[in-house]
A and B are shown apart, each in its own frame.
Chain A
Amino acid sequence: TQLLEQSPQFLSIQEGENLTVYCNSSSVFSSLQWYRQEPGEGPVLLVTVVTGGEVKKLKRLTFQFGDARKDSSLHITAAQPGDTGLYLCAGEEQTGANNLFFGTGTRLTVIP
């Protein structure tokens, strides 16, 4: 059972466009992480957000954690072909929990 729903599931855009990926749940999470996974590789951590309403920026990527800690978004400005990949959100239900609940994933393709 996937507790985290991501949208859109697939996204294909032109280089230079902006995009937003959403991660939604009915559950409250103590923290939420975003990963990028390339074909044939394991997921690689991009960011962890902990506080409701928190915004973190990583170059052209902006991550936001919802006030109620149930949802999150990832915004990419001026997308580049190197941003292509599977983006996964993952939530930790309680502090100190030992497993993450992953979202359904958003497969992004940036066309040069």
Chain B
Amino acid sequence: GAGVSQSPRYKVAKRGQDVALRCDPISGHVSLFWYQQALGQGPEFLTYFQNEAQLDKSGLPSDRFFAERPEGSVSTLKIQRTQQEDSAVYLCASTPGRQGGNTIYFGEGSWLTVV
């Protein structure tokens, strides 16, 4: 596709429910990032993939958060046993190269509300 595509755009989950958020990066982009953006805040880094390898997961807030990119293209962010504090916009981004300093292209985000 022309841009980074995320689905679902909006998700309401009951506390304790598992959710899966999907990201389709720009075709051919090597690097993929997940960010969490709470209401009224700037995005915060969650995890980084280079192709299928998860090279940095230092931003994942707990072991309930899990991300994968098995074939080096589409990525899924899974949140188990959702809590109210997980309510946020989850942004996916991709860049063409392996190193930092590239232009980062963001998707529109998946808005998660935990009730």
Contact = CB atoms under 8 A, between A and B. Distances in A.
Interface string B26-65: 0000010101000011111100101000011001000000
Interface stretch (A12-20, A53-61, A90-98): A90-98
Contacts of B59: 99
Nearest to A9: B40
B104 to A, nearest CB: 7
B51 to A, nearest CB: 13
Contact of B106 (A43, A95, A97): A43
Contact of A42 (B40, B44, B91): B91
Interface residues of A, number: 26
Interface in B1-32: 4, 31
A90 B42 CA distance: 9
A92 B33 contact: no
A33 B91 CA distance: 17
A88 B100 contact: no
Interface residues of B, number: 26
A112 to B, nearest CB: 25
A42 B4 contact: yes
B86 interface: no
Contact of A44 (B31, B45, B106): B106
Contacts of A31: 100-101
Contact of B45 (A42, A45, A99): A99
A99 B48 contact: yes
Contact of B104 (A45, A103, A104): A45
23 contacts: A33-B104, A41-B109, A42-B93, A42-B106, A42-B109, A43-B43, A43-B91, A44-B106, A88-B43, A90-B42, A92-B101, A95-B100, A96-B99, A98-B31, A98-B56, A99-B33, A99-B59, A100-B45, A102-B42, A102-B44, A103-B42, A104-B42, A105-B42
Q: Which 10 A-B pairs have the closest CB atoms?
A: A42-B106, A102-B42, A99-B45, A98-B48, A97-B100, A96-B99, A102-B43, A105-B42, A96-B100, A43-B106
